[in-house]
Structure 1
Amino acid sequence: MKAGRLAILLACVAGCNKGHLEAAPPDGGEGHSGQGPVWLEQGWTRAESSEFYLKNQGSQLIPFEWFIHLEQAGSEKLFRSPENMDSLGFIRQPTSRENPHELPIGFVLDDSPDAADIDPSLSSFEPGYVKSDFPKAERWLGLTCASCHTANITFNKTTLRIDGGPAMVDHESFLVRLSDAMRETCDDTAKFERFRTGISGPEGLFDTTRLKAELQSYTIHLEKLVKRNRAEHPYGFARLDAFGAIVNEITVAALRIPENHQVSDAPVSFPYLWYARALDYVQWNRSADNAIARNVGEVLGVYGKLKLDGAPATGQFRSTARIQNLDRLEQLIDSLKAPQWPESVFGAIDAGKAERGAKLYSQNCKGCHPLRDEQGNYPMTPPNLAGKQFIKTRSLRPQEIGTDPKMVENFLFRKSIPGVLKPYLPPDEQAKDKVSAGLLLKAAVAGVIKRFKDETGLDNQQMLAMAGGHVPDPSAPPNIPTGYICRPLHGIWATAPFLHNGSVPNLYQMLLPQEQRMKSFFVGSREFDPRNVGFLTSSSTERSFKFETEAADGAPVAGNSNKGHSGPSFTQTKGEDGNFRDFTDAERWDLVEYLKTLR
């Protein structure tokens, strides 16, 4: 970046920042003294933010009325109480016509009738499970994109809303607590009676015996879901092994092949969403391009239901995924912009430091994390067969960058029995007993999309638009996701913790040699540290999870390594003699200051 352009950018940051803050009506959110969050200007209206929070995508976790009246384990307080959901990191929303039960962001009613012939669970193999007792509710509670991709950042009693930012939620603990609450409701007569009365009223409009059977059946289903995705080491806040969960739901649950199970032990941070639709590839391992396919796969991993047995004529590939809603969410994301550093909240950017940091960035970082040119354009791919161009990304293999390889390796090397998906595989894969789990994911998603196209009658151009303009080129070499994505870093200040697995707490630590980084820190606080650019790392009474790169015996925790992104052009620059040397501490702070300016 040229010095003149940086000076203009800094002047804009200094002069425009106050105008980019917009207060919201009080919402009882994390809010201090009842105040709601302050929105940064990201290209959305408040109505568009609300639509993103409330648009259901076909996720069906638990019958809606059950969730509304379910109590916490060990307590008579409701599971959905703001205090319980706060402790898990979910963001409160105000009560409204669209949200009468004060559910947190990303928790929504799906009142589309459930597909009655979809048995979504491996639980049918478990003792005590009766398939006919699976609840056939017409109102379900599901999760939306916003539950994992909306952030609140607090500083000195001000709360900032970051749409599309990584959420500080502990999704794994949420599921564990939910299944524990359901188990206790099954086993505790008084708790069940309060649950039954809440659902049906004192008159007992529901058959008590039937309700108890359905609750028992679905509790077994949920316990099995928790068990098959639970790893040896908890994920904590702001991370999830989404790929592991999606593949288990397809290859184990939907295919009904328990031998396909693999522990979901490669948690990654929730990626930020701004500019994602403009990238040539997304996901941490740069494995997905087609927007509709990516989103259908995501729904199937967050409690969407899928039927894989039978044939297309008898309902194969029926799914609860709401593809047209997913397309609308993609349209919203297309207009989402990176948040600008709010100087009126965090303090002014030091122009001198940022200018020096810009030079260091151009010398060492720009090759992997591109910047806009003087016209405001990123490096782009050549036009594809549909004439569409995308922001060009690249990837680095774990051997090149040195970061934890677990996520890449699980995707590359996981093999599964294909079952009824075998006919939908490439011909050279159909003779194999086990195939890439990624291929099975692709086949299942393709089947869901084809069924949607056939049922809706949409033409190829309409489907291409839903895919975000991505069209495969038969002459191009296949994209093999062997590494981690390198993408633009605009808005990076709002996305801690860092590295793909959330193992580095702030930007300053990212610029230290790997051996000097913190081996453990607390994650869960939303209180911002504007100097180091991350969140506070001390134990918090609000939410605290101790992230550890090493176990008590000193052995590395699989999936949690904070090594890598260290050495030449990562934490080193060339000195006057032409040899690489570590950044000086002043240079690190210059780079941190510059990274604040990217938007």
Structure 2
Amino acid sequence: MRLFYRVLLMLLVALGALIGLILYFTVHPKLPEYSAPQQLHYLDQWSAVDRQIYYFTPQGTQVKGLRYDWFTALELPFSEQSFAAPDYLARFGFLVEPQQKASATNPGNLPVGFTRHQNPGSHIEYLDITCAACHTGELRYKGQALRVDGAPAQHVLPSSVPTLQGGSFGQALVASLAATYYNPWKFERFARTVLGDNYEQQHKQLRAEFKVSLDNFLAVAWNDTHRGLYPTLEGPGRTDAFGRIANASFGDAITPDNYRVANAPVDYPHLWDMWTFDWVQWNASAKQPMARNIGEALGVGATLNFFDSHGQPLQGDARYPSSVRVHDLHLIEETLQRLKPPVWPEALFGQIDRPLAAKGRALFAQNCAACHVPPVKDEDGRLVQQLRVIPLAVIGTDPNSANNIADNRYDVSALQWDPAELANLNVNLVPASDEPLNLHSLSVAKGLAYITAFVEKHAYVQAGIDPQEQARLNGYGLPIAVQEVRAYKARPLEGIWATAPFLHNGSVPTLYQLLSPQSERDETFYRGSFEYDPRHLGYRTEAFDGGFVLDTRISGNHNSGHEFRAGPLGNGVIGRLLQPEERWALLEYLKVLGGPLEQQLPPL
């Protein structure tokens, strides 16, 4: 009996500690303060119309069933301040404008990439977070801000798991949702704002529907926490994209046996010229634009149903209904094809030292061009850059992302796929193989290829799109090709100065450090600042309140590889040691690479 009470006491203490931890970070979220810049500048990357299309065109994501008007009506847990206020959301790293006001495309006055959509036949407007939220950057210098469209974001979006670091948008959102539901005075204010004149008739219904969404968030937070699915904290500007998509698609939606530890956060890649690449994703695992975008939408929360209301797997043409919006995804893709790489703004960040940049041009040709200037091939009138894909044994960077994609296997047999049906889908496995697929042990790349093929096919049928138009929307008539390689791709470097931090996992803060031996790179540094260093080409890394400490000694965060240092090539050494003056010359050239300023460089 005494043992029982001891165990009970220990459980109560543990529960009390957990509640205390949640309350602490609810009251004291570890967030940087937001200070609006004196002025926000835009580059001449595309038109203002294109920018608005990109920022606010929905993809079909639903964020656990959270509705747009619910989100805009939320308050902070212990005050009546609006959760969706631009100045508050900016503290998570989301992008707003100084003195931002609501507009026709952004009626909720939300940050870049926060929009809304209605599903066919429904009047409900869901909160829809689009690719612009993760692929729009901003650089601050001397009180000025430079918006870089298509650059990686620096927000803290993904996790709703309580951590000692705090500071996650997901954590804060769940706290506000829970406070709204369980605090009767707060819920009354919320309900009157949302329902207006319909308050009396729909109050009870709203409370029930709101609880469903809250329970979805809490279930994910509990599942991710007690299973320890995300041991490597992501922090600003990073997410384990493949790991989260796989856990949602194979674990949440099929069987808990499919959950896998996701310990490979990656930075959000920059998007200009992406449509010219032969392979995309950090590990060069995907090809077709529409399938890539559907996969991204599913990862951010688009609905996906594998089973009917009786728990039976959907069959034939019923596979697989989703909230993804193929017309809008194609509109975003077309818009991104007009996006130009950013041009170094001399008025903001300083004049180019042209003689030094000319020396850097020669050094680039000697040390960088072999990997980062790919050959170009004409494919049916489309000029395609054939990117070099570099094995882990050569590049030597953190292997987790590439290895997880190559090694993790999932049981999808519950979906009852027919091999003959799979053979008729628009999917190419590279390299081709005559071996039958093992549906009890399928890789994430192959599994997602077939899932997106089914989703894509169903979405096209529902939208009434004929096969010829489907080929156009897919992008250049490409199939859903996938490959699994233990490697990372080397991409062209136009505009690379605006895409810090560096390497696929964002473990190197500046381009200067990337050109340096690993021994000269920061072992730990702060992420989350927008303050730019135009000399070293990266974000500033000093400590600041609310900053996230990235520790490169942790698995998934390693800053090894891509080294220029003395010694034999391979195992992460890709070139000779570059002297400091050579690194400075290379940086000066990388500021102008591919842009109009490059044409002004003097000959050596």
- What TM-score, normalized by structure 1, do the two folds share? 0.82
Looking at structure 2, the residues matched to 333 and 570 of structure 1 have their Cα atoms a distance apart, in angstroms, of 42
Distance change (3 Å), C-alpha of 1:177 and 1:450: same
Matched, 1:66 2:70: yes
Asked if 1:342 is matched to 2:345, the reply is yes
Alpha carbons 1:164, 1:272 under 8 Å: kept: yes
Q: Is the 8 A contact 2:41 2:146 kept in 1?
A: yes
- Equivalent residue letter for 2:560: K
- Within the alignment, does 1:111 sit opposite 2:123 as a pair? no
Mapping of 1:95-134 within 5 angstroms? Answer: 95-113=102-120
Per-residue displacement from partner, 1:466-523 (whole Å, max 9, x unpaired)?
222153599xxx7333211111010000000000000000011111101221011111
> In structure 2, what is the Cα distance between the partners aligned to 1:322 and 1:342?
36
Specify which of 215, 219, 226 is matched with residue 214 of structure 2: 219
* Counterpart residue identity of residue 239, structure 1: R
Residue of structure 2 in register with 1:141 after alignment: 127
Q: Determine the structure 2 residue equivalent to 1:271.
A: 269
Equivalent residue, structure 2, for 1:481: 485
Partner Cα distance (2:438, 2:448) in 1: 18
Structure 2: 5+ residue runs without aligned partners? Answer: 1-33, 159-167, 308-312, 424-433, 595-604
Give the CA deviation at 1:572.
Answer: 9.2
Deviation (angstroms), 1:38: 1.2
Once the two structures are superposed, the pairs formed by residues 408-423 of structure 1 within 5 Å of their partners are 408-418=402-412, 419-420=414-415, 422-423=417-418
Aligned position for 1:564: 561
Distance 1:278 1:545 in 2: 34
Separation (CA, whole Å) in 2 of partners of 1:208 and 1:394: 58
8 Å CA contact 1:339–1:491 kept in 2: the answer is yes
Map of 1:64-463 to 2, 5 A cutoff?
64-93=68-97, 94=100, 95-113=102-120, 138-172=124-158, 173-201=168-196, 204-228=199-223, 231-255=230-254, 257-309=255-307, 310-312=313-315, 315-370=318-373, 379-381=375-377, 383=379, 386=380, 388-418=382-412, 419-420=414-415, 422-423=417-418, 425=422, 428-463=435-470
| Cα distance change on mapping 1:141 and 1:114 into 2, 3 Å | farther
- Shift of residue 204 of structure 1? 2.2
- 150-159 vs 197-206, which deviates more? 197-206
Q: 2:37 aligns with which of 21, 32, 35?
A: 32
Q: What residue identity is the alignment partner of 1:558?
A: S
Q: Which residue is 1:540 aligned to?
A: 544
Deviations 1:215-241 (A, max 9, x none): 222212112334555612321111111
Query: Secondary structure of the residue that 2:372 maps to in structure 1?
Result: coil
Match of 1:493 among 475, 493, 497: 497
Q: Which residue of 2 aligns with 1:48?
A: 50
Aligned twin of 2:163: none
Residues in 2 aligned to 1:314 and 1:206: alpha-carbon distance in whole angstroms = 39
* In structure 2, distance between residues paired with 1:457 and 1:569: 60
Equivalent pairs, count: 522
Shift of 1:212: 2.6
Please point out which of 507, 520, 531 is paired with 2:524: 520
Q: CA deviation at 1:527?
A: 1.3
| Equivalent AA in structure 2 for residue 491 of structure 1 | G
Q: Is contact 2:359-2:586 (8 Å) kept?
A: yes
Corresponding residue SS for 2:138: strand
Residue 305 of structure 1: how far off its partner (Å): 0.4
Letter in 1 for 2:512: Y
Q: Distance in 1 between matches of 2:549 and 2:91?
A: 15
Per the TM alignment, residue 382 of structure 1 is displaced from its structure 2 partner at its CA by: 5.3
Residue aligned with 1:547, SS: strand
| CA distances 1:530-552 after superposition (whole Å, capped 9, x unpaired) | 000011111234x52111113xx
Once residues 187 and 95 of structure 2 are traced to their aligned partners in structure 1, the CA distance between those partners, rounded to angstroms, is 28
Instruction: Flag the 1:204–1:456 CA change in 2: closer, same or farther, 3 A.
Output: closer
Deviation (angstroms), 1:352: 1.8
In structure 2, relative to structure 1, the CA distance for the partners of 1:421 and 1:405 (3 Å cut) is farther
More displaced stretch, 218-227 vs 100-109? 218-227
* Of 409-418 and 230-239, the range deviating more from structure 2: 230-239
Residue range with higher mean Cα deviation, 217-226 or 280-289: 217-226
Q: TM-score, normalised by structure 2?
A: 0.81
Report what 1:118 is aligned to: none
- Percent identity between the two aligned chains: 34
